[in-house]
Structure formats: structure tokens, C-alpha cells
Amino acid sequence: MAVCVTGFLAATGPANDHALREIARSIRFPDPSRLRESIRQGNVDILRAVHAAGPALVHTLLELGGGILPITHLLPAQTSHLPSLLFPTFSGFLPSMCLQDQNTGEIKTPSDSRMCQQANHVTAGVLLALAKLFQDALSTSALEFAESGTSIRTSISLVLVFYYLSFALHATPSTCNNLGVLLSTLNTTGSAVNEQGHQEWVDGKRLAHAYYQKGLEVDPHHPHLLANLGSLIKDQGRIDEALRLYEKAIELKPDFDIALANIGNTLKDHGRVRDSIPFYHRAVTANPNFADAICGLVSALGAVCDWRGRGSVNADQHLDLQGRLLPKSDATYIGWIDRLVGVCEKQIAAGYVYNVGAVRSHSTLEGWMALIQQCIGPSLSEGQRSRWVSHLRRFYSDFDRTEARVNEGGFIIRLVERLTRAVQQRWYIEVYGQKLHSDGGHIIVPIFNDVSAEAAAEYRRPTIPASMAIAPALSVLPFHTFTYPLSPRVTRLISHRIALYTSHTTLVQSWLPSHVYPPPTPSPKINIGYVSSDFNDHPLAHLMQSVFGFHDLERFNVFLYALVPSDGSSYRTKIEREAQHFMDVSAWTSQQIVEQIVRDGIQIRWCDYLLCDSTVCPPKSSAAEQWWRRSQGVEPRPETEDPSEAQRILNFDVDTDPESLSEDWMYTEKLIYMPHTFFVTDHKQTFGGVHDNNEVVDSVVVWQEEQIRRGHMRHEIFPDLSDDVIIFANFNQVIFATWLRILSQHPKSILWLLRFPGAGEEHLTRTAREWGGLEVAARVRFTDVAAKEEHIKRGRAVDLFLDTIECNAHTVAADILWSGTPILTWPQHKLKMCSRVGASIANATGFGDAMIVENLSEYEGRAISFARSVRYSTVPDSTGRYYRSGSGELVDLRRNLYLNRYRMPLFDTARWTRNIEKAYTEAWSRWVRGTEFMGSTEWIASGGGDSEESSVIWLRDDDPFFL
């Protein structure tokens, strides 16, 4: 307690005057204004004062820390002074090493410096062991000790106390490293005194950097300190310097798995994928169970299309160490992808041990219910109350969270987020009623800058218990799940666990106000906010650049918040020019961005809705939609369903627990179903070519000219090909056996791939030779990646675009269709959105039936059938020039796609914008009326009207289109 008080007051400034007064009161210090300076000058016998204060001080500290000891931010120089502040009577020596004169009472300090040093070393070692003991217990918060009759739970702040004092007595490199590792996980900022005696605000990474540097002053050749400092520096964007530190670490310790994997990650993340692979291999060799190295290696090998040793391909096949495709029954080893799947499952299971007992330790069942009642208010029905009690009661019994797959910490985070929304919505209703817009153009003044003390108390923000440990994110990122053979539940949980990590680290930020942020005010128009780091030369900007200017400013205000600075591209210039309100917030803090969004009164800003369509996300892929269909008798409940699973679906008013064991659904978000396709494009505006509108031009002439241009482009790219050679293509750099079989069955064909990345060409060529033979492999052709405009033009040279299956082409599919080239796609996975995007895009052309198949056999057969249907002849145009004219099923499909591209919904950006505005209007209406969640009191009271039959927002397109 003495270390906590001393460090806390020595580090903090006037901003913590409340804490100063409370601590002074607890230790009975007469003048709070002098306490901080008295401690810094060593004029207070803090040990005696703390002992005398007893439970009063412990309760004060726990109250200041929100149930745990308050976090102390100490730089190394401050920490080194702790002994002199703690033991001023003993001149900074350990009291046990000093003697007191029996007659005079004078304290005699030891003269044997060697003995004092040994005592310090031993004491520091004991403190270090205690720190590690408590640190190991952080995940469960199950370890606690009694101080003055009060239990103190394990927390980072408690562990720091032991580390700080151990460092103060004996600053070893290992102690510095352990301190740095722990401090780097802090997500709070605090005041500290630097070596010049000035106050500065520091975060965990700033403190970690200081202790790593201090450790390297003691031992410049400590590999762990070098590697950890390298990671901090890498996060600051100092890549070359980070690599030098990692390399120095592995020079000292060649089998240092963490440093080897860090080099691999750094190289891969900065485009040097091929260079990263040897380091991942070395890391896995040093530690075969190192999750980050396994996952990094799988990602890197996949990026360069090196599938040797991959393992499972599907239920029937696997790839061996030589890259041979063999029956799975012949597998004799565990492949890389199989090991990755095991890593995911193991890390998911490990998450269940975090924060066991957190609900019970934070409050009683009655206390939690009082919080829920306070947040939701009078609208909390008896049915809801009963469900909440049922959800909470299980945490007051002892059961194996891992066996039951119950994530207690995740439950609390989701509860806090849900209650925060409830408080904000209640605030809106109590101030404005169910008013969607302000009347008669009258603008209501936002209340953000003038929150009264009464309002702050009434709409207090529910908080995460301070003792809760932040569970680590998984090694596999959600984006990588697109191409991995993971089950729906594992895929769902990878995203969910990272979302929990993000929410937890955000919700404990010290800059959050004590109350919830005030709700947006009713205004004459709905305020839309777009926040993105991709308003530059990025596929998102390529596709959405016109949307922001197409919004109806008679009904909406549009705000854009750019998280990265401008790259000077035409995309950024257009977006900045056409957006109603554009703010470059790349240099702002998170707090500044959040508060600006609140001040702007953004009403459409929540991310609980997933924008999709019924092709990419069939209704059965939504847990809430499944519940609704079963509750309405549309679908029967499975007889084999565990009752506990039904309980999970009713979690939080049909806000389903993602940890459910079910493999039958993917999404817990509420869905917005766009008509035609969720996918937005900008090709009509950006790449509208010779004819701005095909409707006013003779289609025969248009098609003639396109065939001429297509012939020229084809000859420009592949001058050696005769006219009757079919060009199959894929621009997403994935190849598989079906494509090679297609080539083998149609000898006059090639497969056109891109060098993306260039390192993939050698592996793809080798695989083609091994799987298809030399003749087929010779017909796999590579070209360099082209600039966007040239890429769009080159698409017309392709006869048929063969889509990938695990993850379909997205932007590239739209690019290809704009050129008139048909795609062939198979939406293989019912619950995997990325494998269904191609079908969604194809459907929005109006000719989807010709381009979508239902199985791999049909995929192969349709490609061959299309290729064999093509016939070319040389015919004259109206001027007497001869050109290559095609006919047959595939050419007819191309003609329809090309001539209708200005009419089809896929390329009608203005239509897409009008439809999304309908979604925004309905989402805002549901939020105001409280009907966004099925099962809520408001939703039940609404009677399930036409617009709220379920939580899905179904949009209808009122504007007809004709092909």
C-alpha cells in the first residue's frame, strides 16, 4: 500500500486533486495541499502512516481504482527514488538493515555496502517472484490477498507495485524486460515526472520504451530487451530500426523464436513476403508450437502460392510436402493449414479461462439487476427482467467455463455495450420523445458541451470492472479466414474475440466521460457519418467515390472523417471535392475524433447492422433471423438442439451469444438487405468510355466497335495467339486443379494470371507442371499488374473470367463485368460471405443465371461448354474494314453484358445510394423507437408491423430497370 500511495502521488499532478484529498483524509494528513510535496521530499513516514490508516486507506485506494489499486505511471528515474521516499527515516536503506540506538533513538545506517547490496538483491528477487505469481493469475482474477482485512484482487496495478519496488532495489535487465512487457499492455494514460522534474502525460508504450532502454543500459546484449524494443519501434513506423534490433537479437540468440517471427511479420507486412518465409520457418523449427509463427508462415506461403506441405485441401484431398495432390487417406503428416486450424481452436478454448468469477466478484446478482434497471429504465418488462436474472444467475455457480464454452469476460463487455446503448437511447427519449426530426426546420442545440451534473449522474456510463484482464486477440485475423478451411463457429469467434479485445481496450480509456455520450439531436435532416482509412487510392475509394456526392442533401447531411492523410490521388481529390463535409482527422487522437462525431450529431454511425443482400448472406446465416423464423413457426426448431443453445439465442433480447456451439449460423449483427446487390461500384462515372449512354446509340454499331477494340487489345497483350484461342483468366492469383482440367479439355485455350505477387509465378508454374503436365503448364501465361485504367481496358481481352471459390473476386469481378467479360462463379459456402460475393455481383447484372453454378462439376462443365460455343469469323463493318466477329453462347452473353452495363443495377451508383438512404432512414427510425432489437419491450409493443417483422431491414427498389 505504501508503494502504491507513494508512487501514485509522486507521479500525479494537480489533475488528481480529488485523489490527493481522499488519500490525505485516509492517512489523517492535516494539509492535503502539502502531502504530495512532502512525500516527494521524504518528509512523511509513509510506512507508519499507511499502517495506522488500516482499512480506511485500502478502501480509498480501491475506490480510486474502480475496485483495484489505482494504476501508477512511473518512469525509471522516479522508480529508482522509491526507497528514499518509502524509507526516509532509514535514508533509503531497507529498515531491516538498520539499527536504532537504544538510548538516543538514532537510526544507524549500515556501513557494509556489499551486505546491503546482497539484501537488496534477495528482496528484489522475492518481489520479482511475487510479481510473476500475481501476473500469471491476471487472466482469471482468481488470486487475491488480504490487506487490513480487505481482499485485493489481482490486477496489472497490483503486479506493477511489486515490479516497481523490485526494480528500485535491484534494476536487473530481466526486471526491466518484464516491466516493459507488462506496461506495453496498458491502455491508459497518466501523469509522470521525467528526469528534468517536469510533469508529462505518458502511456504504457512510452513507459515500456523507457524501461527497455534502461535494461539495455545495464546489458546491451539482452536479446529479449532488443526484440521487445524493436516491436515498440516497429509500431511507431520505424521499420528499418526495428529490423536492426531484431537482427541483433537473433545474432545473440539464433533460435530466438519471437525475434525470428517478428522479422517475418515485419517483412511480410511491408510487401517483402518472399523474404519473410525463411524467418518463419526458422521460428517454427525453434518452437514447433509457436502460434504466431505458424499463422504467419501459412499466410506468407499462401500469398506466394507455395502449397507444398499445406495439408488439407478439402474433405477428400491433401497436399504433401512436395505439393502433390493426394487422397486424404494417404496423409502421413499434419500439414501447415491443419496446424493453423489447431492453433485457432486452442486459442479460442484458452480464452474461456480469462476473467472467470468476474461477474460474482464485481457485484451481487441484485447489484447487477439494479444496474440493468437503472440503465434501461421503466421500459424493462417482467419478461426481460426474468431473462436477465437467468443470464446472470449462472455466473454465481461453480462450473467449468471451458467445458460449457462460456466467455464470462465477453459477456460483461457485451452487457456494458448493450447497457450503454440503452442509456443513450433512454436519454434521447426523455429529452426529445420519439421525434425523428426537428419540427419546421428548427435546429435543436446539441447538449454535448453542456452536460449538467444532474444529467451526468442520471445517464452514467456503465463501466467494465477494473479487475478484468484484457484477453489477448487471436493469432489469425478475420481477413485471413477468407481463404482458410475453418468452421463457421471458429470463423465467427475469430472476429468476435478481436472485437472484444478492441471494445475492452477502448472502454477502459481514461478520457471517456463518466456519463454516456449525449445522443444525437433531432434535426431537419439525418446526419450520416463515414469513418475510414481508405479515402485514398484503395478499392473502397475506387468503388464508393461518387456515393458521397450522390447523397440527397435535401434529406441528409454527410460527414466524412479520414483517418489517414491524403495520398494526392485523383480518388482522394474527388471525394474531398464532392463530400458535403470532409475532415482529415489523421493527426487527431481517438478522443478528438469521437468527440467531433458526437458534436456533429451523427445519427447513422452504429455498426450493428451488416450491409448485405440475400445472396451473400442468406437469411439462415443470421442467428436472430433463425430465432424469428422459429418463433413464428416458419421453421421448426431442431429436435437435437441443446436447451442451453436456445438460451444463448435469447441472450440480450435476441442478441445472440457468438460463443454458441452452433455451426448453423454466422452473423449476430442485424442485417440490411439491399436489393440487387450490396456491392457498390463507380465504373459508370469513372470509366464511361466512348458512349455515355448506350440507349441513344445504335447497339449494332456499339457492339461492332467493341469487338474491334477487343481484338486490338487481345493482340496487344498476346500477339502470338490465334483468334480461336480462348482466354480464361483470373486476376486474384489462385490456381487449383479444376482450372488445369479445363485447360486440358480445351486445347485451344490459355489461363491468364497476374504476377501478384511476382514471387507466385514460379510456384504456380511448378504446380501446373506437376498437376497438369508440361503441355498444359505452357498454356498458363503471366503478365504484370497494370494501372487501374489499363487494367479495366485489358479486361475486354478475356473470354471468360474463372472466379475463385473460397474467396470470390470482389472489385476485380466488377472490373471484369464492366468490360463485358462474363464471369463464372460458384457460391460454395452457405455461411461464408466472401465466397458468395461473385454470385451477388453476377445477379445484379440481370444475367446471373448464366454465370452462377451450384457445384464444382458444373463449374468445370460450364466453362468447357462456353469455350466450345465460341466461333469467330472475319466480317466487314459499315466502312468496309474487316474485323473479328464472334458468335455462340459465350459471345452472346458478353454482348448482353456490354450493351446493358449502363442499365443494370450493378453499375447504377445513384440507384444504390438511393437504396442505402432508405436503410439509413429505417435504421434511425428503429433506434429512436427502440425497436432495433427483437424481444425488447418496444419491439414487442410494436406488434411486429410490416417494417419490423424481424430485425432485418428489407429494402425494395421502387425504380424499374429494363435490359
Contact predicate 192/16, CB 8 Å? no
Q: Name the pairing type of β-strands 150-153 and 144-147.
A: antiparallel
Strand arrangement of the beta sheet that strand 311-312 belongs to: 311-312, 317-319, 325-327
Residue 326, C-alpha cell as written in the block: 493426394
| Distance, CA of 741 to CA of 472 (rounded, Å) | 44
Contact predicate 409/469, CB 8 Å? yes
Packed helices 2-11 and 55-64: angle between N→C axes, nearest 10 degrees: 50
The 3-state secondary structure of 282-301, one letter per residue:
HHHHHCCCCHHHHHHHHHHH
DSSP states of 633-695: TSSPPPTT--HHHHHHHTTTTT---TT---SS--B-SEEEE-SS-S----HHHHH--S-S-GG
Q: Which of 754, 748, 758 is nearest to 734 (CA)?
A: 754
Residue with cell 505518458: 202
Contact predicate 1/58, CB 8 Å? yes
**Whether the bond into 488 is cis, omega within 30 of 0:** no
Residue 718 CB neighbour total at 10 angstroms: 16
pLDDT digits 0-9 by tens, 36-53: 888 878 888 888 898 899
| Distance, CA of 827 to CA of 848 (rounded, Å) | 12
Contact predicate 615/827, CB 8 Å? yes
Where helices occur in 735-882 by DSSP H, the ranges are 737-745, 760-772, 774-777, 788-794, 811-818, 837-843, 848-851, 856-869
- CA atoms 928, 932, 938, 943: torsion sign: positive
Residues 6+ apart with CB under 8 A from 568: none
Beta bridge partners of 672: 611, 953
Residue 95 per-residue DSSP state = G
Q: What is the pLDDT of residue 945?
A: 45
| Distance, CA of 50 to CA of 57 (rounded, Å) | 7
| Distance, CA of 279 to CA of 369 (rounded, Å) | 52
| Distance, CA of 585 to CA of 564 (rounded, Å) | 7
Contact predicate 297/264, CB 8 Å? yes
Q: What is the pLDDT of residue 145?
A: 61
Radius of gyration of the chain (CA): 32
Cα separation of the two ends of the chain: 77
The segments of the chain whose pLDDT lies below 70 read 12-16, 140-150, 440-449, 605-607, 634, 636-654, 689-697, 733-735, 935, 943-949
The torsion of the CA quartet 830, 835, 840, 842, rounded to 10 degrees, works out to -130
Q: What is the pLDDT of residue 556?
A: 96
| Distance, CA of 825 to CA of 841 (rounded, Å) | 10
| Distance, CA of 892 to CA of 850 (rounded, Å) | 11
Residue 557 per-residue DSSP state = E
Residues 6+ apart with CB under 8 A from 114: none
| Distance, CA of 252 to CA of 259 (rounded, Å) | 11
**Alpha carbon separation from 268 to 173, 337, 663 (Å, rounded):** 30, 18, 33
Q: Which domains does the chain have, with CATH numbers?
A: 1-193 (no CATH), 358-508 (no CATH), 523-605 (3.40.50.11380), 609-678+909-962 (no CATH), 706-907 (3.40.50.2000)
Where helices occur in 184-320 by DSSP H, the ranges are 204-218, 223-235, 239-252, 257-269, 273-286, 291-303
**Alpha carbon separation from 682 to 61, 227, 834, 908 (Å, rounded):** 58, 45, 20, 8
Host H or E run for residue 547: helix 547-550
SS3 621: helix
Residue with cell 454527410: 558
Q: What is the pLDDT of residue 437?
A: 87
Q: Which of 920, 806, 859 is nearest to 555 (CA)?
A: 920
- pTM of the complete model: 0.90
Residue 383, C-alpha cell as written in the block: 419478461
Q: Which of 466, 384, 374, 366 is nearest to 422 (CA)?
A: 374
Q: Which of 804, 6, 920, 170 is nearest to 527 (CA)?
A: 920
The torsion of the CA quartet 253, 258, 263, 265, rounded to 10 degrees, works out to 170
